[in-house]
Structure 1
């Protein structure tokens, strides 16, 4: 039956039809809470009605720059009709127009007088910190900056009196993969994101290409007086967040839901991010409806829900207004940036797992489908599959709509399918020609087979998925040991004193890692009870015992290696080191959350102040994974784990983490009244 399901989905689901839906969505300038987003939402709703999903509707939630859903302040509404930037001196020239390049206007820009504003341009470098403005008079002038528009706007306009902001750099640059110089004619998607209390201060901004910015900077370096005229016809107003939702009702357990979600937002065209996920989601809905109506597949036992949201804000608002539904959400898949032509965009399809704080069978099941898709879509050769399609599985990264569901106050397992990196991400060059019908069909097949299987999953399916998780867990145990062995090879010829220290560190880290893996994998196996509540307990018990025994065996074998190395080198092992004071303190205290949902970065920054924001930014430069770790530091707070336990958990999940960083971050949260801390017994 499952093989038959895969074949029927493959035959019905069309990458070409999906791409046509994607192309239609790219016509809309889909900024959250804007009139243009509402037009896109209406298009999705009408299309769903046309394919037979008659319950498709738009749910609206207040979004006015003031209303909060948990820690998230909603964006202000926005509408833009026209914008252009002209060079006046040293010569007259049109630089850019909104109608030609929508991403050239910073979203949430405020309107100017009809004649526009004319002002001198001043280069402020990055423009995100007070030091960038020292010795510069920018009051009433335009600034040219390479930093993020929101931060530049806060410094230049709110604090130093600039009349507007010009930026010329890509956001999210990746060295040697995605830099402004790689696509010098691209205009980055940049936003101001003002709150209601900032409406009197907010101004406008333009995003130029690196080439255009370089020309302006060259004039300034040569001593030219550069004068620009900016015209913006736009308004900011109290609005609504539009969430499009539709269902295929279950016939046995209609209250339980398997869901697919895609964010509908971002400026025109934003083809891969995320018209691709939104367009594919329409095609998945059409495919399932067609297969059911034709009698080729049965009505699912559980309800399948489809959601098109303004990224993060829409998901938060939906969960906030449907608190009663959370316990009935069984599992979900987030489709974000799934359509890339991999060769053009330099992309790989990533399965972004659930975080370790929310262990789930879903990870191994979806990855198994991803691996199966190679056999479904690629020719075989004498040497194996002739596939050039790249895919991988990655630790939880967040940054999209699966993060909200996986938050520890909800614990709904949701994975993300995402193509990353993408050379054209958040730029004017993220256009329909970068979208691949093949990618859409592959991802569509994976997601459709997954939701149909989960929606009708029985206890037998649960056992199969538990076994997939068991096998994956056994492999992950071995991978952890292999990495530790690789670390041993790096130090094998070290000086005795240094060798003893390193052996002890490696032994400690592996023990922590294996203990964490054992806990995570056992919980993931047990999580199949979400889809098979009557699954045989003795089978689940045996699978978890397999994990325990494997962990114990691998640790024993590894310690034998360490003992042999120490004996050969004539050193004492393990050595007893003095425990750091921060570790002693971390053992004593247990933090507990006082808020629901993932923590808004803006709420955190507003609560902790500039100096601590600077610390967070500097810490994130030293520890590249610290942003992801902060999500998990919060998620692991359950009123039982000590700060030390939490630090060990994030170290095991990602990489070794400085306990000082964890301690300070938790202290910041306590000071901001986001958490409470109790002394452990």
Structure 2
């Protein structure tokens, strides 16, 4: 008991008595400032505009979305970079690159079973039915017999030449073999995952794509309802169908919008927000585009009022998922060296009462991505198990989580986390050893489906995400030595909480038969992660006052080490 009392005293007094000054700007101050301005109206309006289009990089809807963002930035006070002078701290540019492959755009489609009066599917109600990269049929359509193919092995004996393949699994291999090599005219497929609740959401279709190929034909993805109707027809004998598809395939450019608020003191250091524009959904990812645009507009307004004066540069990036962010990092090594934090906004506006799931912060790789237990759990998206060498210790995880929990308490909102899984614009940051995390929602029963529409988007959620993200950004951008000390205290508390929770989990695991040695390894991994995460706060220290941060780091680390040592000794006794 005396050990626990000593640790409690150290945890609560180590830094409090040493700190003499306050940070240049504290997160509570920035929350108060942002809450007065971020309503979610601009975010919702932008989400509605972008979501009307089926967005593939380079197509008309994608490009209109890009130019809409640029016009809104200009109206907010951002100056086109080519016209900016040295006094213009708010700048934007549109980067243009020729696409290596043609872009694609769906116009219309129907799937009709012969003998039926009404179409089985129509593009007007199922805008995800046509596979990306599908070519147009003749205007009158193509009529052919439908042949059920269970798997690729079926193609070895089935005669599919001149027919339409129907399969209930991922269609890529069957398409390549059956359509491109064996002469089928096209493919119908169904493979909606269970988390979409397909029997409930029976008209939902997840978008799919064909590989780029000079001899491409077409593919149609089926809803659960359409799949069941087709199977019922096939059970009664041969079935023929007429497929009519109208698409556009044409050369184009890849466009990326980048807006920046130049830092007053350290313009080479920056925080980058990234929101991808492509994909046809409202939540995925028109919501990220909209939330980020309102963040940029509010920043311009607060700059004009001299309510903020970021010392580091704030960058907003809108483009092609992962590709635009990776390029921004890779094409300029000097710029990349100054990126201190990267945050992806992806699926951030959900009305969870309709979509399910919860708002999530996907953390940088920490030991929960190796040992997922307790309150940690992966989303249905899933993630592979990581190794110790994959860890990315940094204070950004707990700093962002702390701030979002503050907004959750204020707004009666739910915030959770998931271990690292990847797959969005945070990935290129982490691959470049830049601290990066993801703001998103999951499970979403309308994920990647044509039912991801504006009725599933919540202005209140957009406001909560945008507010917490912007208040967090302002704190880091204005951060100094005393900000670093505040974050050290925040992360130290998170470390002590984590070690306590892991100790409790380890005790239970040992009682269930697990090896104490393995449980000690888990505690040591968390100890090491947090010692390094706290050390990372040195990047906030003012050059003239690094000693103060160094001392604060060492004091916090000593508390963590003592707590870990105590817990490990208790587990040692159970050998």
- TM-score tier by shorter-chain length is 0.7 to 0.9
Instruction: Give the conservation status (yes or no) of the 8 Å contact 1:109–1:192.
Output: yes
Deviation at 1:398, TM superposition (A): 0.9
Q: C-alpha deviations, 1:458-478, integer Å up to 9, x for none? A: 011011112211221122222
Deviation at 1:249, TM superposition (A): 1.3
Instruction: Give the conservation status (yes or no) of the 8 Å contact 2:104–2:132.
Output: no
Shift in alpha-carbon separation, 1:53–1:173, aligned structure 2, 3 A: farther
Q: Which residue of 363, 367, 370 maps to 2:397?
A: 363
1:416 and 2:438 aligned = yes
What corresponds to 1:247 in structure 2? 260
d(CA) in 2 for partners of 1:432, 1:158: 37
What corresponds to 2:209 in structure 1? 191
d(CA) in 2 for partners of 1:145, 1:533: 62
Which gives a bigger RCO, structure 1 or 2 (Cα 8 Å, sep 6+)? 2
Shift in alpha-carbon separation, 1:92–1:53, aligned structure 2, 3 A: same
1:225 and 2:239 aligned = yes
d(CA) in 2 for partners of 1:349, 1:396: 15
d(CA) in 1 for partners of 2:120, 2:297: 43
Aligned length: 511
1:173 and 2:201 aligned = no
What corresponds to 1:144 in structure 2? 166
Deviation at 1:555, TM superposition (A): 0.7
d(CA) in 2 for partners of 1:283, 1:143: 46
1:44 and 2:69 aligned = yes
Instruction: Give the conservation status (yes or no) of the 8 Å contact 2:113–2:239.
Output: no
d(CA) in 2 for partners of 1:340, 1:348: 9
Instruction: Give the conservation status (yes or no) of the 8 Å contact 2:360–2:439.
Output: yes
What corresponds to 1:644 in structure 2? none
Deviation at 1:343, TM superposition (A): 1.0
1:308 and 2:318 aligned = yes
What corresponds to 2:36 in structure 1? 11
d(CA) in 2 for partners of 1:322, 1:201: 38
What corresponds to 2:15 in structure 1? none
Instruction: Give the conservation status (yes or no) of the 8 Å contact 2:77–2:300.
Output: yes
What corresponds to 1:101 in structure 2? 126
Secondary structure of the corresponding residue to residue 518 of structure 1 = helix
Deviation at 1:275, TM superposition (A): 0.7
Worse-superposed segment, 417-426 or 102-111: 102-111
Secondary structure of the corresponding residue to residue 479 of structure 2 = coil
Q: C-alpha deviations, 1:603-634, integer Å up to 9, x for none? A: xxxxxxxxxxxxxxxxxxxxxxxxxxxxxxxx
d(CA) in 2 for partners of 1:522, 1:231: 58
Deviation at 1:506, TM superposition (A): 2.2
d(CA) in 1 for partners of 2:541, 2:172: 47
Deviation at 1:214, TM superposition (A): 1.0
1:546 and 2:559 aligned = yes
Counterparts in 2 of 1:320-331, with a 5 A limit? 320-331=330-341
d(CA) in 1 for partners of 2:133, 2:331: 26
Q: C-alpha deviations, 1:164-187, integer Å up to 9, x for none? A: 1212332x433xxx3211200112
What corresponds to 2:13 in structure 1? none
Secondary structure of the corresponding residue to residue 513 of structure 1 = helix
Instruction: Give the conservation status (yes or no) of the 8 Å contact 1:33–1:242.
Output: yes
d(CA) in 2 for partners of 1:421, 1:286: 30
Instruction: Give the conservation status (yes or no) of the 8 Å contact 1:259–1:451.
Output: no
1:281 and 2:292 aligned = yes
Q: Which runs of 5+ in 2 are unaligned?
A: 1-24, 80-90, 367-390
d(CA) in 2 for partners of 1:63, 1:193: 16
Shift in alpha-carbon separation, 1:464–1:154, aligned structure 2, 3 A: farther
1:524 and 2:529 aligned = no
d(CA) in 2 for partners of 1:117, 1:524: 60
Secondary structure of the corresponding residue to residue 180 of structure 1 = coil
Q: C-alpha deviations, 1:242-288, integer Å up to 9, x for none? A: 22110111111111111111111102xx1111111110100111111
Deviation at 1:533, TM superposition (A): 5.4
Instruction: Give the conservation status (yes or no) of the 8 Å contact 2:321–2:425.
Output: yes
Q: C-alpha deviations, 1:584-613, integer Å up to 9, x for none? A: xxxxxxxxxxxxxxxxxxxxxxxxxxxxxx
Counterparts in 2 of 1:504-583, with a 5 A limit? 505-532=514-541, 534=543, 535=546, 536-560=549-573, 562-563=574-575
What corresponds to 1:488 in structure 2? 510
d(CA) in 1 for partners of 2:118, 2:148: 19
Secondary structure of the corresponding residue to residue 94 of structure 1 = coil
Deviation at 1:27, TM superposition (A): 1.6
1:60 and 2:96 aligned = yes
Instruction: Give the conservation status (yes or no) of the 8 Å contact 2:112–2:121.
Output: no
Q: Which runs of 5+ in 1 are unaligned?
A: 65-75, 378-386, 491-501, 564-681
Instruction: Give the conservation status (yes or no) of the 8 Å contact 1:316–1:404.
Output: yes
Worse-superposed segment, 540-549 or 89-98: 89-98
d(CA) in 1 for partners of 2:352, 2:129: 26
Q: Normalized against structure 2, the TM-score is what?
A: 0.84
d(CA) in 2 for partners of 1:30, 1:233: 13
Secondary structure of the corresponding residue to residue 341 of structure 2 = strand
d(CA) in 1 for partners of 2:171, 2:475: 44
1:376 and 2:410 aligned = yes
Deviation at 1:159, TM superposition (A): 4.2
Deviation at 1:527, TM superposition (A): 1.2
1:113 and 2:138 aligned = yes
Secondary structure of the corresponding residue to residue 157 of structure 2 = coil
What corresponds to 1:406 in structure 2? 430
Deviation at 1:352, TM superposition (A): 0.7
Q: Which residue of 108, 112, 137 maps to 1:83?
A: 108
Instruction: Give the conservation status (yes or no) of the 8 Å contact 1:116–1:232.
Output: no
